Homo-oligomer: A and B are copies of this chain.
Amino acid sequence: MNAIVMKRAFEACGSEVSKVALAPRTAVSPRIEAYLRNRTEDGPILVVDRSIVRDNYLTFARALPDTRVFYAVKANPAPEILEMLTQLGSCFDCASIGEIEMVLAAGATADRISFGNTIKKERDIAKAFDKGIRLFAVDCEAEVEKVARAAPGSKVFCRILCDGAGADWPLSRKFGCAPEMAPRVLELAHMLGLKAHGISFHVGSQQANPEMWDGALASAAGIFREMAERGIVLGMVNLGGGFPTKYLKEIPGVESYGSAIFRSLRKHFGNRIPETIIEPGRGMVGNAGVIESEVVLVSKKADDDHLRWVYLDIGKFHGLAETMDEAIRYPIRTPRDGSAVGPCVLAGPTCDSVDVMYEKLPYDLPFSLEIGDRVLIEGTGAYTTTYSSRDFNGMPGLTQVVI
């Protein structure tokens, strides 16, 4: 997640969100509904419908036909998801040796894996190299030196900072270097015997504007030209992730992203369009999952309080971390939908005062909602199990079932 980005985006569209809260909800997949009808486990559960992940993969593949898909494993590393994507032909963007091992265990070959983290211990690079990985992200000279020592001859791509042309807010500077620095980083790679392969960037998570790739592609094309002048031919642009999933707001279809990106590639690279890859995570699994949770308590803080407090058995620390700063507003279905609604503060079950999901902009829920009711939190297939604490407050981490 990128809290800064998402928070600002949310603030910008706050009023729209509050209206949409009363709009018709999206449908929960019949397979998930059937599973939940018959479930026997106690406690909150995430159910992921594999067939939706499959549809998402095929949609990406169709919308960007000349682009290889590297699934961002960190979004949801469930073995069943990795196995299915392996069978569909996906490649994988891995953040660590742990993720590389999961992907290999799912049956993918090493040539379908990118070690996409720009922050790696040299001994982890060596382990990855031993496992056959030959594609690494870098964003500075020190990281190039590590890769050159521990994974000789491998391909590296340099991540650049993306200023988000057209965006109203700054992106995090954690990953990437200034575009002006990239040629030196890539030239060092070349000098140290690595293959200077290309450029990567990230336009920001849950990016609602398909035109946002354009500025970064302009920078990338400039670096390609500068490298060519130095006699080094780059071949690849990693377009990153950022493809959104649908929460309460409508989002453009993947096709809009595909065509906008293709237009920008044409514009900046002419008829020498490089190999491209994308790294969808949220866009691949977000809408495939639904969390079922139980209402633990409904209360008021004072007699004259117009707000109810609704406490669920899941909160920020057991899966819903991305409600931090009220950034992501998940659609919530209740068994009382259709009856009159009123504003609620929505909170989790822990003894932690930070464990409150929606308070600044309260969430409209039915007045008739009762303790013990089961609610469905939609669009929770990405970044929920992985953000979950192990057992904060002695409550187990989020359980997941992939069907």
- Chain A contacts to B: CB under 8 angstroms: 1-3, 72-74, 77, 94-102, 116-122, 139-143, 146, 161, 171-178, 180-181, 205, 294, 296-303, 309, 311, 313, 317, 324, 345, 347, 349-356, 371-372, 385-397
Please tell me how many copies of the chain the complex holds: 2
Report the minimum CB–CB distance from A146 to chain B (whole Å).
8
CA distance A137 to B353 in the complex (A): 15
CA distance A390 to B389 in the complex (A): 6
Report the minimum CB–CB distance from A118 to chain B (whole Å).
8
Report the minimum CB–CB distance from A225 to chain B (whole Å).
20
Chain B hits for A117, CB < 8 A: 349-351, 393
Could you list 11 examples of A-B contacts with CB < 8 Å? Answer: A2-B353, A95-B350, A95-B351, A98-B394, A119-B347, A121-B296, A172-B353, A172-B354, A172-B356, A386-B392, A389-B390
Tell which of B96, B313, B352 touches A394, judged by Cβ atoms closer than 8 Å.
Answer: B96
Q: Are A352 and B178 in contact (CB under 8 A)?
A: no
Cβ-closest chain B residue relative to A141: B299
Chain B hits for A175, CB < 8 A: 351, 353
CA distance A285 to B390 in the complex (A): 19
Q: Are B317 and A351 in contact (CB under 8 A)?
A: no
Tell which of B181, B302, B349, B354 touches A178, judged by Cβ atoms closer than 8 Å.
Answer: B302
Cβ-closest chain B residue relative to A355: B174
Q: Are A394 and B77 in contact (CB under 8 A)?
A: yes
CA distance A76 to B174 in the complex (A): 30
Chain B hits for A116, CB < 8 A: 351
